[in-house]
Amino acid sequence: MSADTHLPKDAARPAGGTELIRFDRVTKRFGSHTVLDALDFTVSAGKHVTLIGPSGSGKTTILRLLMTLLTPDEGTIKVGDAFLTHEEKDGRLIPAGEKHIREVRKNIGMVFQQFNLFPNMKVLRNITEAPVHVLGLGKDEAEERARGLLDLVGLTAHLDKYPTQLSGGQQQRVAIARALAMRPQVLLLDEVTSALDPELVAGVLDVLRDIARTTDITMLCVTHEMSFARDISDDVLMFDAGRVIESGAPEKIFTDPEHERTREFLGAVL
């Protein structure tokens, strides 16, 4: 499988190691509950970062903020050189307009827990829809790209089916292909195996391992699959109550965590 030929090799892509995502004192509240509390963290281009921690600790909120499905109450988020939800005007930051958000958001793709494939479109069109209508690709070019990605996720035989005709694992692989078809710099993975039957998890994780190994896409991943996290991650961030309480290489976090809460959490899930 020659994944590289289908996958993003963008010349303008920041070189590995430069900062791609920056959260600067980001606070998010739901009602009176503060999910993220003045959170700071950065992700370098090309890195694979896994967010772990007890449920309700704000991991998914981070992904949803990056995808602009939520807006921060305070603080700023930067993707590359641009603010995600703000624009600079006369040296001041103002809330971003739709056009600005769309421009920055182009760099980000997301795979959801519940797949969220469009049930009214066949597999192939699920993948080509956005490249055609957002990137302005021709139909043929978009389909060629989609076929390549379906090959990558091992579903070439199913391109003419509707999502409901596929298993959960197959649907999630289509969703991965759909996100990659936009050639984002960052791929957000939100508990992508949580809704799957146990026997279907491995197929999805294998595809993601492949992508992590063969591309330079930046990944931000929320998962409960600790062995997968250990395999693909460059960095693991341990969250608790809206803050990063510990971070480091997976070998360090998983074998010799410094924080008591991390030990408790890993003891419970491993």
Partner 1 sequence: MNTWSWGYVGDILPDLLKGLGVTVEATLLGSLVSFALGLVWALALRSPSRWVAWPVGAVVEFVRNTPLLVQLFFLFFVLPSWGLTFSPLVTGVIGLGLHYSTYTAEVYRAGIDGVPAGQWEAAVALNLPRRRTWTAVILPQALRRVVPALGNYVIAMFKDTPMLAAITVGDMLFQANTIGATTFDYMEPITVVGVLFIVISYPTSLLLRALERRLVR
Relative to beta strand 86-89, strand 82-83 is: unpaired
CA distance 70 to 27: 11
**Residue numbers at the binding site for partner 1 (CB under 8 A):** 67-69, 102, 105-106, 108-110, 112, 114, 116-121, 129-130, 133-134, 178-179, 182
Measured from the CB of residue 7, what is the shortest distance to partner 1 in angstroms?
A: 17
The smaller minimum CB distance to partner 1, of residues 148 and 257, is found at: 148
Report, in Å, the least distance between residue 264 CB and partner 1: 32
Closest CA relative to residue 217, chosen from 108, 136, 130: 108
Q: Which CB, 38 or 67, lies closer to partner 1?
A: 67
Minimum CB–partner distance for residue 142 and partner 1 (Å) = 12
CA atoms within 13 A on the CB side of 124: 15
Q: 76 vs 116, which CB is nearer to partner 1?
A: 116
Query: CB-based burial of residue 204 (10 Å sphere; 0-12 exposed, 13-18 middle, 19+ buried)?
Result: buried
Q: Minimum Å distance from CB 66 to partner 1? A: 10
Residue 33 · residue 48 · CB < 8 Å: no
The nearer residue to partner 1, 109 or 257, going by C-beta atoms, is 109
